[in-house]
Structure 1
Amino acid sequence: MKLVHVFDAYCGWSHGFSGTLREVVTRHPELEVEVVSGGLFLGERRVPIREFGYVQGSNAKISELTGAEFGEAYGQLIADGTFVMDSEDAARGMAALREAAPDRLAELAPALQRAFYVDGLSLSEPATYRTVAEAAGLDADAVVAAFEAPASQAAAEADFRRSAELGVTGFPTLLAADGDRITVVAIGHATADEVDARLAAAHNA
């Protein structure tokens, strides 16, 4: 059995789920973790953040439920309103980090979200991936090069296809994959204890 975490780095609920993901992985070091980027802000949804009027209210609810931090620098982005969230760029960056450290995805996905939601950094900028890579002790030059390489776009598109093939319609979605059998263990929000109970049920099914 392995875990499949389908998320979008620009999704506030995915950011809120980071603590649960870390706890589940800590409890289950034997489980491989696959991280798949979803396409939340693509096409016509790539618009200035002020177009999403619900953001601040949603973030307050996320923080209340999960304890997730939303930083001052991120708050300034929201207040300015011109920033455009581009999920393809975020997925390209996640693919670059995955290439550098495929066994640390449950740590790197939350780090990428922290860069945006706490530090207010754009996930479209190479400098952001340099910062995340350096903090994680990775080869920052290699990560930036991978982000900028044409192959990163193909990797992002492959992630979006994978998300669709898994039937995911909301982020985050945590799945337990056992061969061809896929079990949903969390959508949106869940505690580590709730995930544990569902994993045990999936294992015993």
Structure 2
Amino acid sequence: MKLVYVFDAYCGWSHAFSGTLQAVTARHPDLPVEVISGGLFTGQRRVPIREFGFIKDANVQVTARTGARFGEAFDRLLDEGSFVMDSEAAARGLIALRQAAPARAAELAVAMQNAFFHNGSSLSDPDTYRAIATDFGLDADAVVAAFESGRPEEDFQRAARLGVSGFPTLIAVRGSDMFALARGHATADEVEERLTALSQR
């Protein structure tokens, strides 16, 4: 069995799921985790962040429901309003990091979200991935080169084939069978209960 985590690096609810993901992977270190990027902000949705007037209120709800925090640098980015969230670039970044350390994909996805939602770093900026790669002891030059050449549509198509239309989604895959463990927010204990039930089938 393995886990498949479908998220979007610019999704606040995916950011809120980071703690759950970390807890689940810590409890099951031998369970492989594949991470796939969704395409939340692509095409006509690639506009200045001020166009999404709901984000600030949504983040208040995220914090109230999950305890997830957003950094001052991110809040400044939100208040200034001109930043453009580009999920294609973020997906290329995940692909680059994932290629460098496949077994650490879940950790790297969390690091990407921390870079944006805490530090206000652009996920379209190669330097963001250079910094993450350096923090994780990876070949930063190789990661940046892979960022420039990644093919995000492959991740988006894979998410669609899995039937995922909302982020985050955590799926258990056993053979040819798939089981949803979380759609949107879930606690680590809730995911654990579903994994236990699955193991008894």
TM exceeding 0.5: yes
1:187 to 178, 183, 189: 183
In structure 1, the partner of 2:199 is 203
Q: Secondary structure at the match of 1:186?
A: strand
Q: Secondary structure at the match of 1:184?
A: strand
Asked if 1:170 is matched to 2:166, the reply is yes
In structure 1, the partner of 2:9 is 9
Letter in 2 for 1:116: F
Q: Secondary structure at the match of 1:124?
A: coil
Deviations 1:123-159 (A, max 9, x none): 001011111111111111111111012xx02xx1111
Matches within 5 A, 1:21-170: 21-149=21-149, 152-153=150-151, 156-170=152-166
Letter in 2 for 1:128: T
RMSD: 0.8
Which runs of 5 or more residues in structure 2 are unaligned?
A: none
Letter in 1 for 2:20: T
Q: Distance in 1 between matches of 2:179 and 2:198?
A: 7
Q: Distance in 2 between matches of 1:163 and 1:67?
A: 27
Q: Distance in 2 between matches of 1:6 and 1:99?
A: 17
Q: Alpha-carbon deviation of 1:203?
A: 2.0
Q: Secondary structure at the match of 2:102?
A: coil
Letter in 2 for 1:136: F
Q: Distance in 2 between matches of 1:27 and 1:4?
A: 16
Q: Alpha-carbon deviation of 1:64?
A: 1.8
Letter in 2 for 1:91: A
Q: Distance in 2 between matches of 1:27 and 1:80?
A: 40
TM-score in terms of structure 1 length: 0.96
Letter in 1 for 2:156: F
Q: Distance in 1 between matches of 2:62 and 2:131?
A: 26
Which runs of 5 or more residues in structure 1 are unaligned?
A: none
Q: Secondary structure at the match of 2:84?
A: coil
Q: Distance in 2 between matches of 1:29 and 1:89?
A: 29
Letter in 2 for 1:30: D
Q: Distance in 2 between matches of 1:68 and 1:126?
A: 26
Q: Alpha-carbon deviation of 1:202?
A: 1.8
Q: Alpha-carbon deviation of 1:60?
A: 1.0
Deviations 1:92-133 (A, max 9, x none): 000000000000011100000000000000000101111111
Q: Secondary structure at the match of 1:104?
A: helix
